[in-house]
Structure 1
Amino acid sequence: MESALIKSDDLITLWGIITVWAAISIYLEQRFKWAARLSGAIVALVGAIILSNTGIIPTESPVYDAVWAFIIPLAIPLLLFHVNFKKVGQESGKMLIIFLISSIGTVAGTITSFFLLKDSIPFLDKIGGIMSGSYVGGGVNLAAMAAKFEAPGEMVSATVVADNLLMALYFVVLMIIPGLSFFRKRYNHPHVLEVERTEGANGGRTLAEEYWGKKEISLKDIALSVGTAFLLVIIAFKVAEWFGAIIPSGEDVSFFFNLLNGLFGDNYLVLTTFTFIALALFPKYFESINGSQEIGTFLIYLFFVVIGIPASIPLIVQNAPLLLVFVAIIVLINMIISLSAGKLLKYNLEDILLVSNANIGGPTTAAAMAIAKGWKNLIGPILVVGTIGYIIGNYIGTTLGLWFGTMM
C-alpha cells in the first residue's frame, strides 16, 4: 500500500508498531476477561488487520519478511525447551492420519471450487494448482508452485492477497471454535478442559495472567535461552542447506529422492529434530533454564501481528473478489471434511483444528495456535506433522494443476 501513512522502508517505526501492539495484546489478554476469551493472538491479529486496512501501515515491508525469516525460527526452539519430547512421537503418529485426511479435504475443496468458478476466473488451472499445494503445506508451497506453473504475476499477487485475508479470518474462526458449545458437546476436548481447570483454580484471574505469572528469571537464563536457540537455528539451517544441496530433487528425479530432499532439506523439520535431540542429550541443562517460554511466546506474538498485516480488504474488492470466493470454498470444504472425519474416528477437537490450521497456514501458524490456546503438549507434534505437508503439497499441487490445464 504505497499510500500508507508509514512507509515500508521506515523500519524502526514498523518494528516499533509490531512490538508495541504485541505487548498491548498480551497486556489486554492478562488484564481483561473479554480479551482473554478472544485470546491475545486474535487481538494482535485483528489489530494488525485494522492498522493495514486503514492505511496506517503498509501491507508489505522488509520488516515483515524479517519476522518470517528470523523471529519464527528463533521462537520455535525456545518454545520447545520445556516440552515433554517423549510424548511427541506418540502424539505425532496419531495426528498424521487426521492430517492426511484433512489434506484430502483440500483436494476435494480445490476440485469443487475449480469446477464452480473455472469459467469466471482466468488462469484458474494454474491458480488451482498453486493453492492446492499451498493449502496442504502452507505458504512455503505457494512460492514453489507459483514458480512451477508460471502464472501471470498480477494473478499470483491477487491470489496471495486473497490467501492472506482468508487465512487471517480462518485463524480467528479456529481460535473461537473450542469455546463454542456446539463443538464441545460433540467432540472430546481434553486439552481445553485441562486449560480451563487451571483457570478455575486461580481465584478469578484470567488463564493467561495465571499461566504467565512472575517467575525467577536471571540475566544468565535470558542469555542461555537466546544463545542456545540461535546456536540450534544456525546448526539446523546449515545442515538442512547441506542436505538440500547434496540430495537431488526435481521433476527428473525419483519420488524417493524428492522425499528425502523434502525431509532432510527442510529448515523447520531439521530444527525441530535437532532441538529434540538436544533435549534428550542434555535434559538437566534445559530444565535449569527459565524464561525460554516467555521469550519465545513474545516472539510468536510478533508473528501474530504480521499474519494480519497483508490481509488487505480493499485490494481484494478492487482486484479479484472471486479469488476470495475460490479460496474460501477450499478452506470451508477442508474444515467440513476434517471435522467430519475427526468425529467419525473419535479424534480430539484440538488435533482436528491444529491439522486443518497446518494445512491452510503451515506448521508455524498451527504451532502458534497451540501456544496461544495453552495446548503445550501439542506444539511439538503439530510442528513435526505439519512439515509433511511441505513434501506432499508440491505433488498434489502439480497433479491437480496439470489435470485442470486439460480442461481450460
Structure 2
Amino acid sequence: MNQALIQPDDYITLWGIIVVWASVSIFLEQRYSWAAKISGAIIALVGAIILSNTGVIPTESPVYDAVWTFIIPLAIPLLLFHVNFKKVWKESGRLLILFLISSVGTVAGTIISFFLLRDHIPYLDKLGAMLSASYVGGGVNFAAMAAKFAPPGEMVSSAVVADNLMMAIYFIVLMTIPTMGFFRKRFRAPHVEKVESGGMKEDGKTLAEGFWSRKEMSLKDIALSVGTAFLLVVVSFKIAELFAGLIPSGDDASFFLNLMNGLFGDKYLMLTTLTFLALALFPKYFESINGSQEIGTFLIYLFFVVIGIPASIPLIIQNAPLLLVFVLIIVILNLGISLGAGKLLKYDLEEILLASNANVGGPTTAAAMAIAKGWKDLIGPILVVGTLGYIIGNYVGTTLGLWFAGLM
C-alpha cells in the first residue's frame, strides 16, 4: 500500500483522481459509440483497476472508505426521488422470489467449492462461512462472520482481496451480458429495449447521451435535492442506530429478535423505507425537484471507480490464488442457477442479472448497475430486495460455517 506513487493520506489527490476519472468515464460514454457499448461504469471500474495494479494509487485509503460511508448513502435517496412508487412494490415481490433462488445458487456453489478445495485451503470452513454470507448479503455480513469465526488475519485479508477482484470481474460480466446477442435471443429484455428505443436520437448521439439529455435545473433544485437527501440519510441512520441498540441481537437472542434487529437496525433498509414513505406522503414535492437523478448518478460513478481499486491482481496471485477459484465457483453456480430459474419462470434478463448482482455484490452494486444501464424502474425494487440479503446472509453463513467445521 505504501509503495504506491500516491500515498493513502494524500487525500486531495486521491479525491481528484476519483472525481476526474468518473467524469472522464461519463464523457467517453456520451461522446463515443465504442465507449457507450462498453458503458461508463466499466470504463470507470477498469481504469481504477489499472491505476491500483500499476502502483499509481494505493489499494487502501480513508478516501475510499469515505465514498462507502458518505457518497453511497447520499446517492440512494437522490436516485429514488423520481421512482414510480407503485411499481416498486409490484416489482419487489417478483424480484424477491428470484433473489432467494439466486441465494440458493450461492449456497450450492459454496458447498461444491468447499468439498473440492477443503484439503488445499486452510481455514476453509471459516472462510466459506464469511464468503457465503457476503455473497447472499454483502460486506456487512462478511465482517460479521469474520468476527464470529475469527480466522487468522492474513486469511481474512486474502479473502477480501479475492472477493474484491471477483466482484470487479463479475460486475463487468454482468454489465456485458445484456449487449450479447446470445442472451438477447433467449431472454426478454424490455428495460434494455426501452432505453435503446428512447435513447437514440436522429442527430447521431449515443444512447447514453440521448438518455442523459440536458434538463432544466436551478440552484434551488440542487439545494433541495442534496438537502433533502442529507436529511433522509441523517434521520434514517439515527433511527436505525436507535433500534439496533434497543433490540437485542447475537447468539443469546432469539431468531425473532435477531430478525427484528436486522430489519429495523439496518441503515440502508431504513433509508430506503423512509425515502419511499416520503415519496408516498409528498409526491408533488419530489416531482417538482429536477436534477436529483443526475447528481445521484454522478455520485454512483465515484463508487464505480472505488470498487475497482482494491482488486489487486498481484496480491491474489501471491497470497491465495485458490481462494479466487473458490469464489469463482460460487459466482458461476449463482449465475447459472439464476439464469436457469429465470428462464423457467419467465423473468426478464434485467431482473435475473440484478438479482444475481444483489447477491454477489450487495444492493449498492445492483442499484448502481440498474442506474448505469438506465433501468430506472428496477432501481428501487432491487435496493429493497438486495437489502433483505443483509438479514438472511448471517444465517446462511453461520449454518454453513458450523457444518463445514465438522467436516474439516
Structure 2 partner of 1:279: 279
Deviations 1:110-133 (A, max 9, x none): 000000000000000000011010
How far residue 203 of structure 1 moved from its aligned partner, in angstroms, is 3.4
Amino acid at match of 1:135: Y
Query: Any residues of structure 2 matched to 1:119-130 within 5 Å, and which?
Result: 119-130=119-130
How far residue 215 of structure 1 moved from its aligned partner, in angstroms, is 1.4
Inter-partner Cα distance in structure 1 for 2:209 and 2:77: 23
Inter-partner Cα distance in structure 1 for 2:116 and 2:203: 53
Inter-partner Cα distance in structure 2 for 1:273 and 1:395: 23
Q: Matched residue pairs, number?
A: 408
How far residue 208 of structure 1 moved from its aligned partner, in angstroms, is 1.2
Inter-partner Cα distance in structure 1 for 2:273 and 2:163: 29
How far residue 287 of structure 1 moved from its aligned partner, in angstroms, is 0.9
Inter-partner Cα distance in structure 1 for 2:371 and 2:222: 20
| Maintained 8 Å contact 1:80/1:380 | yes
Closer/same/farther in 2, CA of residues 3 and 375 from structure 1, 3 Å limit: same
Deviations 1:53-72 (A, max 9, x none): 00000000000000000000
Inter-partner Cα distance in structure 2 for 1:32 and 1:371: 19
Query: Any residues of structure 2 matched to 1:45-124 within 5 Å, and which?
Result: 45-124=45-124
Instruction: Confirm or deny that 1:376 pairs with 2:376.
Output: yes
Q: Structure 1: where are the runs of 5+ without partners?
A: none
Structure 2 partner of 1:161: 161
More off after superposition, 20-29 vs 194-203: 194-203
Deviations 1:232-276 (A, max 9, x none): 000000000011111111112111111111111111111011111
Q: Secondary structure at the match of 2:310?
A: coil
Structure 1 partner of 2:12: 12
How far residue 202 of structure 1 moved from its aligned partner, in angstroms, is 4.4
Inter-partner Cα distance in structure 1 for 2:201 and 2:313: 42
Amino acid at match of 2:327: V
The TM-score normalised by the length of structure 2 is 0.99
Structure 1 partner of 2:326: 326
Deviations 1:195-254 (A, max 9, x none): 111134443211111121211111111111100000000000000001111111111211
Structure 2 partner of 1:207: 207
Inter-partner Cα distance in structure 2 for 1:296 and 1:401: 38
| Maintained 8 Å contact 2:199/2:209 | no
Structure 2 partner of 1:387: 387
Inter-partner Cα distance in structure 2 for 1:7 and 1:360: 30
| Maintained 8 Å contact 1:83/1:376 | yes
Deviations 1:95-149 (A, max 9, x none): 0001000000000000000000000000000000110100000111101111010
Inter-partner Cα distance in structure 2 for 1:381 and 1:195: 18
Q: Secondary structure at the match of 1:136?
A: coil
Task: Supply the RMSD in Å over aligned alpha carbons.
Answer: 0.7
Deviations 1:62-92 (A, max 9, x none): 0000000000000000000011111111000
Inter-partner Cα distance in structure 2 for 1:368 and 1:189: 18
More off after superposition, 117-126 vs 210-219: 210-219
Inter-partner Cα distance in structure 1 for 2:85 and 2:407: 48
Inter-partner Cα distance in structure 1 for 2:398 and 2:263: 19
Structure 1 partner of 2:222: 222
Q: Secondary structure at the match of 1:389?
A: helix
Structure 2 partner of 1:301: 301
Amino acid at match of 1:287: E
Structure 2 partner of 1:37: 37
Amino acid at match of 2:397: G
Deviations 1:36-63 (A, max 9, x none): 0011000000000000000000000000
Amino acid at match of 1:312: S
Amino acid at match of 1:32: Y
Structure 1 partner of 2:134: 134
| Maintained 8 Å contact 2:109/2:331 | yes
Query: Any residues of structure 2 matched to 1:127-276 within 5 Å, and which?
Result: 127-276=127-276
Inter-partner Cα distance in structure 1 for 2:203 and 2:344: 38
